[in-house]
Amino acid sequence: MRLVVLEGDGIGPEITAATMAVLRAADARFGLKLDLVEMPAGVKCLAESGTTIPETTAAAVRAADGLVMGPMDTYAYAGQGGGALNPSGFFRRGLDLYGNIRPARTYPGLRSPTGAEFDLVIVRENTEGFYADRNMEQGNAEILVTADVCVSMRRITKLCCDRIAASAFKLAARRRRHVTAVHKANVLTKGDGMFLASCRAEAEKHPGITYDEVIVDAMAAHLVRAPQKYDVIVTTNMFGDILSDLAIELSGSLGLGGSINAGDKFCMAQASHGSAPDIAGQDRANPASLVLSAAMLLGWQAEQGGSSANAFAAAAGAIEAAVAQVIQAGDCTTDVGGKLGTAAMGAALAARISAA
């Protein structure tokens, strides 16, 4: 399995290095035959070549089996011209990675701010919605009509609603068999009405899966009050982006949020948080988000079948177990109760995987 690795900006190089150590340990133990190919992207590339995504990098990604992307500092190059592309949006749209899957769960030894134990997944549509860089054939969906008036357009299509609903029910069938659709159809009657129609149609195909609907502002309150009530939450792009950060922070730290962007034939692992330039280079960042994202990428590969499926599934499970173990033992960064730096936590994870 050839994986292109983009280290990202800010804390990206640090957490990516820790993640690579973990992947190499899993590769050695389970015989995955990973080929990790590091390629340039982001702020440094913009300064050196006038683009955040050189064509050599884009070509390498298209030819690979998967992508591991460190966090990118999109704020640093927003509005700097045509070469200042958002790498996340570029690959999500370009490779049709329509499903953003973000689990959030509590860990033994780490108290949730809610005081409750929970294990849920937010399934978010990834290729349209209010995201102005990925919902037009050409140009951008934010328009400055006058100096004082901006219009932002949202695209919602039946195709995207149908397939994200199907993804949510497929995932729920492997979990606790409960899907909750989150929407704002009381205000966004056409777009969210279309989204709900797709979810309801999919629910009719799965009578053994409990299905319900919650308005997005109420859902924010419900996640704080009783996150344990939920299993798989499916929603549109921006709502899912916001709610997933909330749910992950309620697990104990935003640094624990694994995330993949999956299509039918390709998958990208990506930490659910940003590049945190204020702590870059200080060996303080929690690498668990990108580590868990890489584990999810291996799990996605296992779901594709083939002779190595069991090995990839076992490797994904071992990485997830190692994260839980280092948190419980305190062999982790300070945001989750430990005393280690980024590199040392990565080494602790790799050692547990190798020793098991």
Catalytic residue numbers?
Answer: 131, 184, 217, 241, 245
Residue 314, both tokens: 């076992």
Amino acid letter for position 26: A
Closest CA to 308 of 30, 68, 24, 67: 30
Cβ atoms 316, 30 nearer than 8 A: no
Q: What is the 3-state secondary structure (H, E, C) of the chain?
A: CEEEEECCCCCHHHHHHHHHHHHHHHHHHHCCCCEEEECCCCHHHHHHHCCCCCHHHHHHHHHCCEEEECCCCHHHHCCCCCCCCCHHHHHHHHCCCCEEEEEEECECCECCCCCCCCEEEEEEECCCECCCCCCCCCCCCEEEEECCEEEECCECCHHHHHHHHHHHHHHHHCCCCEEEEEECCCCCCCHHHHHHHHHHHHHHHCCCCEEEEEEHHHHHHHHHHCHHHCCEEEECHHHHHHHHHHHHHHCCCHHHCCCEEECCCCEEEECCCCCCHHHCCCCCCCCHHHHHHHHHHHHHHHHCCCCCHHHHHHHHHHHHHHHHHHHHHCCCCHHHCCCCCHHHHHHHHHHHHHHC
